[in-house]
Amino acid sequence: MLKQTQKPLSDDQIFLSSSTEQITWGELHTNLDAKIERLKEHGIGPHVVFVVAEDQVTIDDYLWILASIKNGGSATQADARQSKMELDGLIAGSKAICKIQSNKITMLTDDMTPSILHPLEVYRGMTSGTTVKEFFEMYPFFWDYEDHEKAIVDGETLLGCTAQASTNHLFAIAPEFKEDKRPNILCTAGFTATYNPYNLLRIYLIGGSIHFLNYGDNIPEQIQKANPNCCISYPNALKKIVDECPDDFNWSGIDYWECSGGHTPEVVIRGIEKKFKFKCIYNMMASTEADCHSRAEFRPGDPIENFYGFKHRIYNGELKLDEQGVLWYKYGTRDWQTDGDKFDDKDGVWFYKGRVFDDVIFMKGGVKVYTGLVEALALEVPGVENVASCSKDEIHYLIYTGKAFIGNVAKHYMDNAQESKRPHDIYHVSEDLNFSGDNKFSKSKLPGIILNSHPPHIISKVNIKDHSRV
């Protein structure tokens, strides 16, 4: 099932492109039909297909997802850099019938019983809330509200999200995308989380284009090549885009920036302000698997508070904040539920404050350490990408990925943070650990994972009081 809200402007319009390849809308369905024939040769139809991308994500990796949907099935994805334990857990949770990697189809079972949770499902997303993707629950993805409302299993509304919900936010911000223009989005290519396949589906829905960045790409060069009018990504990826563009870049044309998948530090917003001309940076807050979306908007000249104040809501259900400011949502026949997101309500505008139990560390003497502030300091150091502040047994850990020298990170805290706000131990870990990304995750498990991690994951570590030993 592939249907669109609107068509592309022409067959010559680019659908997908990267630094090394591209495919037009006119070429798209010929390519998909060829892939569908290969699926049918293996007896694959209304099943879940598991797509695994290598270090360099290819156009074919994305197109296998669409081919599976057009063939009447569903798809999900992962990154080959993830551990065998992670991949095995994801495959089990997805109930996939086959794995597709480097265009090779490998059957995972002889049982050809259709495995889709609901006949209207087009994609299977990964639930967030864990640290290294040790999740075995997934949620269905539908095209639009009408389908979502019909998604009832055993008398209960099925947990799931729709492309149309987030697309409506994009149209509200950029009405020209619904008229005489189409979004040409810039995003990163990672397959470790749902974010980019999610964007693939909604861009298909509205006849747009995607240019995706792979690891090692020259980002300023690729921006000039693709000339995107919209950048949609998560905070760590946005920081990388901003950091790699020169101070005098002053690029115009990326009119709209979408940030989601976690808290976006102010340093990222200021970086976009400094290096790009834009019309709007909008901040998305969502429980994606429940189709719960809120939006904040920041335009040139606005106070920075506008970026963090959510007041635009598109949601097919009910929302409320409890006495502690924790967000609860309800729709259909389901009971009230929460992901633990906390907000301050100021005259109907909701300001995100983090996640229950994740945003505050309680140290000796009752000292409160807000992890968001600690992480924001780390992100000021050039070369820091993913970062998490967490604790275990009253020891405060800071864990980060990227190219930043650990001594520079330690020195930044010594120079800029009160002693009670400094992490005790800093760990520089490899990207293979996948502790962050575009999904929210529970930091409570992270210290145990790090402390029990295999040495290849830990590049270096230091006690901040003796950072000369790095």
Domain boundaries, the chain: 14-315, 360-469
- Is there a common fold for 14-315 and 360-469? no
The per-residue DSSP string of 61-120 comes to: HHHHHHHHHHTT-EEEEEETTS-HHHHHHHHHHHT-SEEEETTEEEE--S------SSTT
CATH fold of 360-469: GMP Synthetase; Chain A, domain 3 (3.30.300)
- Please state the pTM of the whole predicted model: 0.78
The Cα diameter of the chain in Å comes to 66
**Would you tell me how many other CB atoms lie within 10 Å of the CB of residue 125?**
21
CB 212 within 8 A of CB 187: yes
CATH superfamily of 14-315: ANL, N-terminal domain (3.40.50.12780)
pLDDT, tens digit only, all 470 positions of the chain: 688 889 999 999 999 999 999 999 999 999 999 999 999 999 999 999 999 999 899 999 999 999 999 999 999 998 887 767 667 878 888 889 999 999 999 999 999 987 777 878 899 887 644 333 344 467 788 888 777 777 777 777 777 788 887 788 889 999 999 988 999 999 987 787 777 888 899 899 999 999 999 988 999 999 999 999 999 988 878 988 999 999 999 999 999 999 987 778 899 999 999 999 999 999 988 777 777 778 999 999 999 999 999 988 777 678 889 998 988 888 778 888 887 788 999 998 999 877 665 666 766 555 667 787 788 889 889 999 888 898 888 889 999 989 999 999 999 999 888 777 789 999 998 876 666 544 455 677 778 777 776 566 789 999 987 543 33
